[in-house]
Amino acid sequence: PQINNEGHVAWQGSDASAIDYEIYLYNGTNIIQITDNTFTDLNPKLNDNGFIVWERRDDGPDYEIFLYDGTGIINISNNDYHDFAPQINNKGSVVWYADAGNAEIFLYSYGGGPVTQITNDTYDDIEPQINDSGDIFWHTNFNLDTEIRHLDPKYGVTSITNNAYDDYSPRINSSSD
């Protein structure tokens, strides 16, 4: 389960048919079933505004990223890739990685503009995190070494680590501190 600062909780749970998983939200008073379909909805993330983002796996060739904004559900990835591990900030911006030949990072900004591909290289860029300032962190597999990278909205992409060790799974706070 994911809990936000308002005490709301989002999770994936088996639906009544027990065939697939659906997304649920406890809003402090009631449990609301957000999805009701024949697909497998997984890995929900919840922001402080009650927006939920998750990945949907179907029996077809694609996995997609969906966003619930309190009024409806939006397919925000809508591409031909397998999309994984979405993260959302309190402004509604969402990052995830997709298998586009190799893993690349994508960004959706709530309320405007198309999806932006953040990385486009020959390495696997995985497990992005985004904070409320729009900073994005992830790890990149450089063939024999894995390093932490950072996209600062003002200054571009830099490597945070550059060493002989494998560095994985960055976690960041909600500000740029």
pTM: 0.91
Summarised one tens digit per residue, pLDDT across range 2-41 is: 999 999 999 999 866 667 899 999 999 999 999 998 889 9
Can you give the pLDDT at residue 84?
Answer: 94
* C-alpha to C-alpha distance for 82 and 65, rounded to whole angstroms: 9
Q: From start to end of 78-135, where are the E strands?
A: 82-88, 94-99, 103-108, 116-117, 124-130
Summarised one tens digit per residue, pLDDT across range 133-161 is: 999 999 999 878 899 999 988 888 888 89
